[in-house]
A and B are shown apart, each in its own frame.
Chain A
Amino acid sequence: MNEKPQAVVVIGTREHEGEVELVRALGYRVLLLNTKINIEDALVADVPVELDLNDETLVISKVIDLTNHYYIKAVFTLNEYRVPLSARIAETLGLQRTISYEAAQNCRNKKLTRRTLMRNGIQAMKFATVKTPAEALDVIADMDLPVVVKPANDAGSHLVYRCDTLQEVWEAVEAIAQTPYNWVGQNRDPEILIEEYLVGKEYSVEACTIQGETHILAITEKETTTTNVSVEIGHTVPAILEEEQVSSIHDLVKKALRALGVDNCVTHTEIKLDGNSLRIVEVNARPAGDKIPLLVRAVTGYDLRELALHIALGGQFENAPRHEVLAPVAAIRFLIADKHGVVSYDSRGVLEFEEMKYIEFFTKNGYVVKKSYFVVFGKNRDHVETVNRKILSKLNLRISDI
């Protein structure tokens, strides 16, 4: 019998996502490894270790060192950038319940995602990789504008450009080429992805795959700004779709996950639907961000973060933790400024809406705008949209020049 305390290695954290608390709640010791650890997490974790998460050798060496004192049951991360590292650690420790490193890379690196889906006949779309603006002009000759230019291994829409002209393509490739590191300081993949611009309405598919079997938990409908392709202004669960569309989405996502080798994790797959044309934008081998887990939990009872941990710890779908379903429809609305400026709003009165379950302002009256949001639960789509409009009207958000 193993006498060492049972522990879970938590790699990196996402802001306000509570990974450490989730692990603690299950009674495991928390071995938290992060580049920087805040006081709250340091206090909740049993062993907080600050080290450079981009130094894979160092991290693995530290985890192996920790195995002298703890029986490590799982490696857990919600952080997109750290999925391959977590997979590498889990594989090194011989843990069975993990996505493979190869599959994690297939998802993390968008170039590999495109190539794998293409090679497996899942999705035909025009794309190319280039290293310089001049190369870009060569490959663009075979593509129609607009195109999307983006780094292969960044995330969060960082350095993603929609380009309508050759000049914009040149400038986008040049801007990315001049950026040596991604958002978290990892070396940028030298190959820059240029792909056809996918038209259509955007959705994301929240799913989990356990020992080869994929369960689709929810389809999230996304609302984006009309001016910039990459800015999402709201999400609603569930999406309004025809039965056949839902079936096609399930089928496509399951095929894509299988082709990418994804197993033993929660996934967040972004897709675009244009008429009958269904395309995969990207596949993320971790739970959705942007508070989507809140919406999915309200509507399905499944907490995507809890589920990810449950899977890593060897749980089955049948015994996954499930909470009370709170509403048929849940939506988040982001408050986004259409220009730089100083925000003013009227928060009096918005709390009277019982359908509004969360509201968070990352700015104060009189300060420069940052992304804020509110979440509404309702009995149907019309109800949620009506409440959203009323809240927005009451808030009377205004942006004035600095």
Chain B
Amino acid sequence: MIGLNSDINDLFSAFVKNALYEGKLSDRDKAIVQLALSYAFEDIEGLREAIVDAKQLGITNQEIGHICALVIVSRGQRIANLGQVSYSFGWKESSQSSCCK
């Protein structure tokens, strides 16, 4: 849809090119980011492509597993914290409310 506006599309294309092929990160760093994003978004096709690219850059299965673990931890902690925040919030609100009373 962005292609409907050629000016914005050109800017976006230049941005994409810059982000993917230039910048400060090495190809290996970018491959690791790509792997992490594919896991996080549960993007199977993206993950397949990311693994193929990563292994060509010498990223090992153990490293891929570690990246997967980090994403799981991140999401797991988020889920765990969701429960804690909810409980904590309720307690504070209750406390505050009785204090005000």
Would you call B64 and A37 a contact (CB within 8 A)? Answer: no
Which residues of the other chain, A, contact B71 by a CB distance below 8 angstroms? none
Q: How far is the CA of A39 from the CA of B52 in the complex (A)?
A: 8
Which residues of the other chain, A, contact B44 by a CB distance below 8 angstroms? 39
| B74 CB–A CB distance under 8 Å | no
A contact residues vs B (CB 8 Å cutoff): 37-39, 42-43, 45-50
Which residues of the other chain, A, contact B36 by a CB distance below 8 angstroms? none
User: Apart from A43-B55, A43-B64, what 16 extra A-B contacts exist at CB < 8 Å?
Assistant: A37-B48, A39-B44, A39-B47, A42-B48, A42-B51, A42-B55, A45-B55, A46-B55, A47-B55, A47-B56, A48-B52, A48-B55, A48-B56, A49-B56, A50-B49, A50-B52
| Interface secondary structure of B, over-half rule | helix
Q: Which interface class (under 10, 10 to 19, 20 to 34, 35 or more) fits B?
A: 10 to 19
27 CB contacts below 8 A, A to B, read A37-B48, A37-B52, A38-B48, A39-B44, A39-B47, A39-B48, A39-B51, A42-B48, A42-B51, A42-B52, A42-B55, A43-B51, A43-B55, A43-B61, A43-B64, A45-B55, A46-B55, A47-B55, A47-B56, A48-B51, A48-B52, A48-B55, A48-B56, A49-B52, A49-B56, A50-B49, A50-B52
Q: How far is the CA of A50 from the CA of B48 in the complex (A)?
A: 11
Q: How far is the CA of A46 from the CA of B56 in the complex (A)?
A: 8
B contact residues vs A (CB 8 Å cutoff): 44, 47-49, 51-52, 55-56, 61, 64
9 closest A-B pairs by beta carbon, nearest first, are A42-B51, A48-B52, A39-B48, A42-B52, A48-B55, A50-B52, A37-B52, A43-B61, A47-B56
Which residues of the other chain, A, contact B64 by a CB distance below 8 angstroms? 43
CB proximity of A12 to chain B, nearest CB, Å: 15
Which residues of the other chain, A, contact B47 by a CB distance below 8 angstroms? 39
Q: How far is the CA of A339 from the CA of B51 in the complex (A)?
A: 41
Q: How far is the CA of A45 from the CA of B47 in the complex (A)?
A: 15
Which residues of the other chain, B, contact A46 by a CB distance below 8 angstroms? 55
Which residues of the other chain, B, contact A37 by a CB distance below 8 angstroms? 48, 52
Q: B44, B48, B49, B52: which has the most chain A beta carbons within 10 Å? A: B52
Q: How far is the CA of A49 from the CA of B54 in the complex (A)?
A: 10
